[in-house]
Structure 1
Amino acid sequence: MRKMLFVWLSMLIGLQAIAQNNQNIVGKWRTVDDETGETKSIVEVFQKADGKYYGKISKLLIRPENDKCVQCKDDRKNQPLLGLEIIRGIIRKGSEFSDGTITDPKNGKTYKCIITRKGDELLVRGYIGFSLIGRTQTWKLVN
């Protein structure tokens, strides 16, 4: 009886860990351009001490026209793309991550951001105004 209870509890704890990991966005992700389908970079998503999530470009897979964020309008202006923090201030709300921003280094524009994890993929949506006006990219987990 004790063995069965131990096995059952172990399975339950294992399933909870899998479920929590499936909703965690921390890790390295291959960005895939929603317009061209090209894999462009690796973005590392991490959590800071403030409890919010951030993401920076950790590897460039395609040589861009300019290796700096020339079009950025804030503290990222003319900063190198490699190491550039493109996701800022994301908060976890249930199974969704939102209330932060994402910056497109290609055009320097910053958008509101919602991120949802689906297995080994992140659905990353940048939008203005209401979430209906924007675009979504599917990023793939780097193993």
Structure 2
Amino acid sequence: MKKLKFSAFLFGAMLAGSAAAEDLSGLWQQIDDKSGSPKALIEIRKESNGSFTGKIIKVTPRPGYTPQKTCNSCPAPYTNQPILGMDILTGLKSINGTANYDKGRIIDPLSGKVYDAKVRLNANGKRLSLRGYMGVSALGRSQTWIRQD
């Protein structure tokens, strides 16, 4: 019985370790937290300093929605930049030994608001939950992003 418990513990530790070691780099489909429909395709890359940056590489067409071309209400350095190709997620850092990332910043190019950001990657590395907030995480919104590659 003790061997069975120990084996289960080791298996669980291996699963947790694999999720913690998962790299966020790749293509992610951003899902709108209000409508549940795909919003944009984001390419996340790892920077030389170990942080992660996410760039919009495709805006997903949606019924009844005319895509905004530039970031009109955004603060500098985003002011009037094209949304396509914009780095919207910056500075995201891995929390050692976990599947969590924090210390990031994300901009909503439609409203121009900049939020603190943190991410939790699911166990199989196929979905992430991004939380954007101002000040306190409890006062924010979450989105699900789905790995595309």
Which TM-score applies when normalising by structure 2?
0.79
Secondary structure of the structure 2 residue equivalent to 1:79: coil
2:27 paired residue number: 28
Q: What is the count of residue pairs matched by the alignment?
A: 129
Match of 1:130 among 124, 136, 144: 136
Separation (CA, whole Å) in 1 of partners of 2:74 and 2:94: 26
The alignment status of 1:97 with 2:96, answered yes or no, reads: no
Which structure 2 residue ranges, 5 or more long, are not aligned? Answer: 1-10
Q: 1:33 to 1:85 in 2, by over 3 A?
A: same
Separation (CA, whole Å) in 1 of partners of 2:135 and 2:93: 18
Give the Å deviation of 1:22.
Answer: 6.4
Match of 1:73 among 72, 75, 80: 75
Q: Percent identity?
A: 30
Q: Deviations over 1:68-123 (max 9, x none)?
A: 11111121111111110000111111321111101111101000000111131010
The alignment status of 1:141 with 2:140, answered yes or no, reads: no
1:38 paired residue number: 37
Which TM-score applies when normalising by structure 1?
0.82
Which structure 1 residue ranges, 5 or more long, are not aligned? Answer: 1-11
2:120 paired residue number: 116
